Amino acid sequence: MISTKLTVAGLQSAGSPANPEANLAELDQAAKRLAGQADLLITPELFVTGYDVGDRLPELVSAHHLDAVRAIAEQNKIAIIVGMAESVAAGELYNNAVFVDERGVVRGRHHKTHLFGEIDRAYFTPGSHAVTMVPYRGVNIAMMICYDVEFPENARMSALAGAHLLAVPTAQMTPFEFVADVVIRTRAWENQIYLAYINHDGVENATTYVGRSSIVGPDGGVLDRIESGTGTIIAEIDTDVVRSAQRANPYLTDTRPELNSALTAGGGCVTWSNNG
């Protein structure tokens, strides 16, 4: 098979809470800086509006924001996975990751399936598909949002479906540094795929973000990382590396789905030893 490479960048930023125009301008500047260097730019979760912006969230949502992202992608010839709220069905607001290609065409959107805490539950309808995959220039890119990737089930299903890269806009806050530092590396290792985890930094209302965005390789090694502040990280995705890593550590073929029925709604059985 042909080796396919893709250069992926992430924008970590405090953003401008409740100011979509300022955030879209920041995205445009990042896209201009990265044009010609990166093929794909990933933002944090709900980057367009900010995450903890209180009751103003629904009124900040506008279909025009996606048009602006599409224009930024097309003008800078860079694909973008943007975290934004969207009303894509009547009366339902979703916490989305939207994949826009370098021509400005929407190639897919992931509805956050695992809502976290009061903010998510107050505003959003949960998605009903754990895995959303966009094949892009030979690389299979699965998208998840924040809490989604903390569940190993989700990352595993994306890898079983053939993902090379798991792209995760997030709004990870204190005291969950452990997720950014340890869990993310495990998710990459246990599936032998790349993972890009792109977070906010700074403070919004009651929420203090932990920064610590990273791009991790299939061996769990950190390829690029930013601890705090605003900045971009960048790394190369190589499908050959995924292929050879998955051959060397064959978790995806050694897993035994016939033993996993306890993980589904059909229920399952476990063995208890009760004597004595």
Q: Who contacts 49 (Cβ-Cβ below 8 Å, separation ≥6)?
A: 18, 20, 23, 57, 60, 61, 84, 85
Q: Is 210 in the site for a copy of itself (CB under 8 A)?
A: no
Query: Phi/psi at 205 (nearest 5 deg)?
Result: 45, -120
Q: Is 45 annotated as catalytic?
A: yes
Task: Provide the minimum distance between the beta carbon of 109 and a copy of itself in the complex, in angstroms, as a whole number.
Answer: 8
Contact window for a copy of itself (CB under 8 A) among 28-36, 192-200, 228-236, 268-276: 268-276
Which of 32, 56, 178, 205 is close enough to bind a copy of itself by CB under 8 A? 178
Q: Is 256 in the site for a copy of itself (CB under 8 A)?
A: yes
How many other C-beta atoms can be found within 10 angstroms of the C-beta atom of residue 33?
A: 15
Q: Is 185 in the site for a copy of itself (CB under 8 A)?
A: yes
Q: How many CA atoms lie within 13 A of 196 on its CB side?
A: 30
DSSP 209: B
Q: Is 121 in the site for a copy of itself (CB under 8 A)?
A: no
Which of 138, 202, 220, 231 is close enough to bind a copy of itself by CB under 8 A? 220
Q: What is the dihedral of CA 136, 132, 218, 259, to 10 degrees?
A: -140
Q: Is 118 in the site for a copy of itself (CB under 8 A)?
A: no
Which of 26, 39, 45, 150 is close enough to bind a copy of itself by CB under 8 A? 150
Which of 36, 54, 58, 135 is close enough to bind a copy of itself by CB under 8 A? 135
Contact window for a copy of itself (CB under 8 A) among 31-39, 40-48, 84-92, 101-109: 101-109
Q: How many CA atoms lie within 13 A of 201 on its CB side?
A: 16
Residue reference for tokens 């969230």: 57
Q: Is 146 annotated as catalytic?
A: yes
Distance CA 211, CA 170 (A): 10
Distance CA 11, CA 38 (A): 12
Q: Is 77 annotated as catalytic?
A: no
Q: Is 253 in the site for a copy of itself (CB under 8 A)?
A: no
Residue ranges that bind a copy of itself, judged by CB under 8 A: 99, 101, 103, 105-109, 113-114, 116, 126, 128-135, 147, 150-154, 156-158, 160-161, 178, 182-183, 185-186, 189-190, 219-220, 251, 254-276
